[in-house]
Amino acid sequence: MATTTSNKKYYPTALSLYFAYVILGIASSIMGQYKTEFAKAWGATTLSNGTLDVSMVVSVIAAYGLGRLIAYPFAGPISDKVGRRFSGFIGIALYAAFFFGMISVHSMWFAYAIGIMNGIANSFLDTCVSPTVMEIFPNAASIANLFTKFSVTVAQFILPFLIGWVAAANLSYQVIFIACGILMVIDAILVLILPFPKANKVAKSAAVKGQHHFSGAALASILIGFTSSATFMIWLNCNQELGTSYGIKDPSILQSFYAVGAMIAVLLTAQFIRMGLKETTVLVLYPSISVVMLLLCYVITSPFILYVGSFVLGYAAAGGVLQLAVSTTVTFMPDSKGLATSLVMIASSVANYAVLSLAAYLTKTMGGSAPRTIILLNIVITVIGIGLALVVKHHDRPTTKTVAAKA
């Protein structure tokens, strides 16, 4: 990623922020990997089909979206006005509290509160990290932001192996939570002492043109935060039940296929953008691929298709569409990067809370037929996302990208 020589002093800062996203990646998916363990810890009942009711765990995961929704309206302005460092420290410290807190409670409602705190942590970290890395690498802002997703997918790739190692060593799953909490404490200290760039401000004339430009395309770009998040969050948190219903003995391995696809997507997409591919083209293309794959996973009920589907959905759904939606929205609000990030992530938070709450309801009420019904829900939402992306693509103007490049 191209940058100026003076910005090299901020490289350690960028690394510490990307590392925070590695741990964020574990936080965003580890609950889904230990549904049974947490359900037992919180006193879950057994369903009529003989399986443990894990819907309460899905509800706690959904609370993550509620926390983000609560905090984003404040996190963005705080990042822009008080400072990126302050926003980042709050986010990382709250993540440490999430890891230590989740293994300490024995009530679903206490866990729900901690799930909300997890979302608040994500809000403050997002509104620190995305603007900061775009300011450290101003000549490759979209690519810098894409690598936040790469950091998340690295964690999601290694998590199943960590889970396997912990199980093989006859250790409690709590070991992973404790280790991540300690790492976040260390990273919080680094964020306090490392240098941060000054928030970039565009020239006043450019700011007037770009500030809070809520056209139809800008609104569509923000709403892609909802659809893109729903696509990968539904798959990430509900694929284990689908895998079991299709006959996969260890559905947690699907997570690794998903993560590899997402990592490859970030690297290839970054290269494609360097070669001239427009971000708005990716916003149309990748959800289209996701819809085709989801349809195949619905029609073909075999284990093999889920391995392929996890890889393809990792690539197309989780490979940076949300981050590119943020970068595209910033072009409409070049002087308020934190606020632009907040708006997209508010839409993402609504998806996380509403859609996963609906998935929890379907899981509880529909039993064995729920996993495939959830695929249909995912298809409908992703198709809406394609429509929104087409609106953004139709209104894509060279002048918009020029303003963003100067931001």
252-256 long-range CB contacts below 8 Å, 24 or more apart? 252/33, 252/160, 252/163, 253/160, 253/307, 254/306, 254/307, 254/310, 255/29, 255/33, 255/156, 255/157, 255/159, 255/160, 255/310, 256/157, 256/160, 256/161
d(CA 329, CA 1): 21
pLDDT band at 239 (very low <50, low <70, confident <90, very high): confident
pLDDT surpasses 90 at 32: no
Provide the pLDDT for residue 41. 85
pLDDT band at 40 (very low <50, low <70, confident <90, very high): confident
| Domains of the chain, first to last | 10-406 (1.20.1250.20)
Task: Encode pLDDT of 339-379 as tens digits.
Answer: 887 889 889 888 878 888 888 888 878 877 888 999 999 99
- Eight-class DSSP state of 172: -
Provide the pLDDT for residue 86. 94
Task: Encode pLDDT of 277-323 as tens digits.
Answer: 888 999 999 999 999 999 999 999 999 999 999 999 999 997 789 88
pTM: 0.74
d(CA 87, CA 85): 5
Q: C-alpha angle 304/256/94, rounded to 5°?
A: 140
Residues near 120 by beta carbon (within 8 Å), at least 6 away in sequence: 67, 68, 70, 71, 94
